[in-house]
Amino acid sequence: MTDTLIVGGGTAGCVLAARLSEHPEHTVRLLEAGPMWFAPDEFPPALRDAAHLPIGADTAWLWRYPVILADDGVPVTRDIVRGRVIGGSGAINGSYFVRAVADDFAAWSGELGSETWSFDSVLPAYTRSERDVDFGDRPGHGSSGPVPVRRSADPAPLSERFATACVAAGFPEIPDLNSVLEPVAGVGPVPCNIEDGQRMSSASAYLLPALARPNLTVHGATSAARIRFRGTRAVGVDISHAGRIETLWADHVVLSAGAIESAALLLRSGVGDPEQLRALGIPVVRPAPVGSWFTDHPEIGLAYELGAPDTATVPLEYVLELDDIEIRPYTVAFTPGVRHLGVALMRPRSAGILQLRSADPAIPPVIEHRYLSTEHDRARLRDAVATASEVLRHMSARSRTDAMPRQPKAADAWLHANLATSQHLSGTCRMGAADDERAVVDELCRVHGLTGLSVVDLSVVPVPLSRGPQATTVMIAEHVAGHLAR
Mean pLDDT across 158-175: 96
Is the pLDDT score of 365 beyond 80? yes
- List pLDDT tens digits, range 127-157: 999 999 999 999 999 999 999 999 999 999 9
Select which of 141, 340, 424, 448 is catalytic: 424
- List pLDDT tens digits, range 22-42: 999 999 999 999 999 999 999
Task: Please report, rounded to a whole number, the percentage of residues in the chain having pLDDT higher than 70.
Answer: 100
**Neighbouring C-alpha atoms within 13 Å toward the C-beta of 351:** 15
Neighbours of 175 (CB within 10 A): 12
Nearest to 214 by CA among 28, 41, 80, 71: 28
Mean pLDDT across 154-162: 95
Domain CATH number, residue 179: 3.50.50.60
Query: What phi and psi, each to the nearest 5 degrees, are found at residue 474?
Result: -60, -45
Nearest to 288 by CA among 455, 424, 77: 455
Residue 478 corresponds to which amino acid?
A: E
Is the pLDDT score of 370 beyond 90? yes
Report which DSSP code applies to 143: B
Tell me what pLDDT residue 308 has. Answer: 76
- List pLDDT tens digits, range 88-115: 999 999 999 999 999 999 999 999 999 9
Tell me what pLDDT residue 58 has. Answer: 85
Residues forming a β-bridge with 195: 198
Per-residue confidence band for 401, with pLDDT thresholds at 50, 70 and 90: very high
Looking only at the bridges linking them, the beta strands covering 216-219 and 28-31 are: parallel
Distance CA 350, CA 421 (A): 13
Dihedral-angle region of residue 153 (phi above 0 means left; psi in -120 to 50 means alpha; beta otherwise): alpha
Looking only at the bridges linking them, the beta strands covering 244-255 and 453-455 are: parallel
Rounded to a whole number of angstroms, the distance between the first and last alpha carbons of the chain is 18
- List pLDDT tens digits, range 256-314: 999 999 999 999 999 999 999 999 999 999 999 999 999 999 999 999 998 877 788 99
Distance CA 213, CA 27 (A): 10
**Neighbouring C-alpha atoms within 13 Å toward the C-beta of 122:** 28
Per-residue confidence band for 335, with pLDDT thresholds at 50, 70 and 90: confident
Distance CA 144, CA 33 (A): 31
Tell me what pLDDT residue 229 has. Answer: 98
What's the structural domain count of the chain? 1
Residue 448 corresponds to which amino acid?
A: H
30, 162, 203, 205, 412 from 47: Cα distances, Å: 21, 28, 11, 14, 38
Tell me what pLDDT residue 311 has. Answer: 83
Is the pLDDT score of 486 beyond 90? no
Is the pLDDT score of 254 beyond 90? yes
Per-residue confidence band for 333, with pLDDT thresholds at 50, 70 and 90: confident
Mean pLDDT across 245-256: 98
Per-residue confidence band for 72, with pLDDT thresholds at 50, 70 and 90: confident
Catalytic residue list contains 424: yes
H or E element, residue 102: helix 102-112
Nearest to 342 by CA among 119, 172, 133, 190: 190
Nearest to 149 by CA among 182, 120, 176, 187: 176
H or E element, residue 278: helix 274-279
Tell me what pLDDT residue 373 has. Answer: 97
Average pLDDT for the chain = 96
Tell me what pLDDT residue 157 has. Answer: 94
Q: Are 440 and 429 in contact (CB under 8 A)?
A: yes
Distance CA 418, CA 295 (A): 19
Domain with 75, as residue range(s), is 2-485
Tell me what pLDDT residue 225 has. Answer: 97
Tell me what pLDDT residue 336 has. Answer: 79
Is the pLDDT score of 73 beyond 90? no
Residues forming a β-bridge with 28: 4, 216
Mean pLDDT across 218-237: 98
Please state the pTM of the whole predicted model. Answer: 0.98
Per-residue confidence band for 338, with pLDDT thresholds at 50, 70 and 90: confident
Classified as helix, coil or strand, 81 is strand
- To the question of whether residue 469 is assigned a binding role by annotation, the answer is yes
Nearest to 463 by CA among 183, 106, 67: 106
